[in-house]
């Protein structure tokens, strides 16, 4: 369908690109937002540097862990240590709002539009910013859910109450043993509901969100749809980037917008109906809100 030639450069100035995006959003019948990790990073949910050091200084000192991402795979000797780490990680990345108002400004842009969000992010910042939860599809899981580590069933459980207790009651990088979560069905240890291998649980909520997303796409098949891709890199292009390119190509009324720092591009086949902005997502969204 597409050649290997991707286009990044634009003859337009940044100001002209901003106006083109504004016009496309104004004229759109529907907006499909595709959000990757770059959006949350731009919002201040950084996994290394000062923020990491502030919340995980003791783990850094003892285990020489380099960042939050790698720490999630560290083979802690006990479940008490494992959940001391993960409860902190969940708290600051799922139950606390991002430090910068990037998600809030995104909502300002689309609140009066018929929109839907497809995201590989697992931090639920969309809901914390006030997006309609019925218009969200989190494909890769949710920091706020646990599942059986086996898994013995296709179920998930909310973890907020226990996570808050873990953070409050942990001492010396260990949570109380009685707070270590076990599957209510089989008794095995719980694990995070994150897509990292074939044990990932897609529960009823996952399939319901998937159905709502598919229905949204079907209802707007030939309409003036803006595919707004934000902070999507090259790790999982088959989830957001490639489908957005394909749907833009197949619908002559569609328009593709890609905003990402140093990774903004599209195939030459759709470049006449696309704008690619190689800038920080948050800064660009702020400019669009002015």
CA–chain centroid gap for 103, Å, is 11
Q: Nearest to residue 39, comparing CAs of 96, 98, 115?
A: 98
What end-to-end distance do the CA atoms of the chain give, in Å? 38
Tell me which of 161, 194, 227 is where a domain ends. 194
Q: Looking at the predicted structure, is the pLDDT value of residue 8 above 80?
A: no
Q: Looking at the predicted structure, is the pLDDT value of residue 9 above 70?
A: no
Q: How far apart are CA 207 and CA 211, in angstroms?
A: 6
Q: Looking at the predicted structure, is the pLDDT value of residue 5 above 80?
A: no
Print the domain residue range for 180.
50-97+142-194
Structural domains in the chain (count): 2
Q: Looking at the predicted structure, is the pLDDT value of residue 14 above 70?
A: yes
Split at pLDDT 50, 70, 90, the class of 34 is very high
Q: How far apart are CA 274 and CA 150, in angstroms?
A: 44
Region 155-168: mean pLDDT is 99
Task: Please write the tens of the pLDDT for every residue from 198-208.
Answer: 999 999 999 99
Strands 225-230 and 30-35: parallel
| pLDDT on residue 262 | 81
Split at pLDDT 50, 70, 90, the class of 211 is very high
Task: Please write the tens of the pLDDT for every residue from 239-280.
Answer: 999 999 999 999 999 999 999 998 899 999 999 999 999 999
Residues 258 and 239 both lie in one domain: yes
Tell me which of 194, 217, 232 is where a domain ends. 194
Q: Looking at the predicted structure, is the pLDDT value of residue 45 above 90?
A: yes
Q: Looking at the predicted structure, is the pLDDT value of residue 4 above 70?
A: no
Q: Looking at the predicted structure, is the pLDDT value of residue 68 above 70?
A: yes
Range in 41-50, 115-124, 255-264 the model is least confident about = 255-264
Task: Please write the tens of the pLDDT for every residue from 76-93.
Answer: 999 999 999 999 999 999
Residues 222 and 270 both lie in one domain: yes
| pLDDT on residue 7 | 67
Residues 207 and 119 both lie in one domain: yes
The CATH number covering residue 133 comes to 3.40.50.1220
Contact present, 256 and 273 (Cβ < 8 Å)? yes
Q: How far apart are CA 287 and CA 18, in angstroms?
A: 8
Domain annotation covers residue 152 = yes
Residues 107 and 220 both lie in one domain: yes
Domain annotation covers residue 61 = yes
Contact present, 248 and 256 (Cβ < 8 Å)? yes
Q: How far apart are CA 202 and CA 220, in angstroms?
A: 26
Residues 157 and 267 both lie in one domain: no
| pLDDT on residue 31 | 99
Domain annotation covers residue 168 = yes
Q: Which helix (H) or strand (E) holds 163?
A: helix 160-169
Tell me which of 194, 215, 235 is where a domain ends. 194
Sheet holding 157-158, edge to edge: 157-158, 141-148, 190-194
The CATH number covering residue 152 comes to 3.30.1600
């Amino acid at each position: 369908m597409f050649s290997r030639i991707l286009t990044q450069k634009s003859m337009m100035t940044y100001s002209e690109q901003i106006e083109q995006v504004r016009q496309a959003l104004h004229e759109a019948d529907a907006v499909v937002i595709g959000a990757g990790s770059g959006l949350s990073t731009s919002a201040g949910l950084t996994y290394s540097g000062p923020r990491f050091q502030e919340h995980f200084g003791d783990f850094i000192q003892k285990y020489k862990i380099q960042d939050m991402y790698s720490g999630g795979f560290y083979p802690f000797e006990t479940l008490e240590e494992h959940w001391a780490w993960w409860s902190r990680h969940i708290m600051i990345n799922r139950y606390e709002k991002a430090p910068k108002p990037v998600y809030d400004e995104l909502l300002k842009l689309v609140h009066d539009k018929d929109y839907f969000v497809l995201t590989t992010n697992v931090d639920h910042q969309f809901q914390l910013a006030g997006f309609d939860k019925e218009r969200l599809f989190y494909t890769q899981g949710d920091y706020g859910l646990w599942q059986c580590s086996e898994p013995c069933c296709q179920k998930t459980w909310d973890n907020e109450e226990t996570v808050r207790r873990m953070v409050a009651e942990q001492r010396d990088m260990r949570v109380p043993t009685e707070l270590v979560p076990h599957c209510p069905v089989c008794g095995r240890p719980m694990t995070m509901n994150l897509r990292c291998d074939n044990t990932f649980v897609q529960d009823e909520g996952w399939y319901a969100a998937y159905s709502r997303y598919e229905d949204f796409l079907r209802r707007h098949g030939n309409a003036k749809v803006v595919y707004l891709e934000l902070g999507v890199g090259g790790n999982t292009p088959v989830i957001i980037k490639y489908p957005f390119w394909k749907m833009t190509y197949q619908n002559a009324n569609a328009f593709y917008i890609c905003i990402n720092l140093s990774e903004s591009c599209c195939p030459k086949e759709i470049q006449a109906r696309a704008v690619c902005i190689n800038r920080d997502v948050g800064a660009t969204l702020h400019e669009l809100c002015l």
